[in-house]
Amino acid sequence: MSETKLFNLIGIGMFSGIAMMTFLHLERFDKQLEAMIFFGIMAIIYFVMVFIRKRAIGLFVPIMTVLAVLAISFIFLQGILFGGHH
């Protein structure tokens, strides 16, 4: 089994599990929709990154760097951008 197939299987398992947990644990439809949109965007980013990993390593590393910086930045900016606790 190639690495790409393995990463695709991991992604399918991970995101389908997240989708199932979202439907089981969130009761209101608006919260489910919000979570599913977020996880859908994350799944698209994941599979695009798996696709370009072998084909364009020169593009993969800068994109991963930007995503890592954004992820760490949003930890600290969450309160400012989204207004405290939900």
Q: Name the H helices within the chain.
A: 3-25, 29-55, 57-82
What pLDDT is recorded for position 69? 92
Do the beta carbons of residue 22 and residue 38 sit within 8 Å?
A: no
Taking the chain (86 residues) in consecutive chunks of 10 residues, what is each chunk's mean pLDDT?
A: 89 91 86 87 90 87 90 83 65
What pLDDT is recorded for position 74? 83
What pLDDT is recorded for position 86? 55
What pLDDT is recorded for position 1? 84
| Residue type at 55 in one-letter notation | R
Cα–Cα distance measured from residue 56 to residue 47, given in angstroms and rounded to the nearest whole number: 14
The count of other CB atoms within 10 Å of the CB of residue 33 is: 12
